Amino acid sequence: MVLICMVKSCINSKTTTREKKCSLFRVPKDLDRSKEWLMNCGREDLIFKSIVNLNKSYRVCMNHFKNNMFSNPEKTRLLISAVPTQFGNFNCCFIYSL
């Protein structure tokens, strides 16, 4: 299974991020928070999918989270309250493609 970012405008929505050291995060199992993620990501089309399906199949990459939303310096873990808010400023993965 190829894991990609669900943000349509994101470069990681088209290619696998495995070689780019870019973390992908599962949609949270909490219903309210998962909706917030979908709305922020512009994926209202997914809002009627089950939470289990969303959590299993959909990811958001680290590019869309502010630095203060990670719980460790390696940026591999998110705070419980983290929501994706960054959509115009891709600074981790573009370094590799420039």
Min. distance of Cβ 89 from Zn ion in angstroms?
11
How many residues in total does the chain contain? 98
61 in contact with Zn ion (CB under 5 A): yes
Query: Which CB atom, from 73 or from 88, has the smaller least distance to Zn ion?
Result: 88
83 in contact with Zn ion (CB under 5 A): no
How far is Cα 58 from Cα 46, in angstroms, rounded to an integer? Answer: 10
How far is Cα 41 from Cα 87, in angstroms, rounded to an integer? Answer: 8
Binding mask 17-36 for Zn ion (x = CB under 5 A): --------------------
10 in contact with Zn ion (CB under 5 A): yes
Residues forming contacts to Zn ion in the complex (CB under 5 A) are: 5, 7, 10, 12, 61, 63
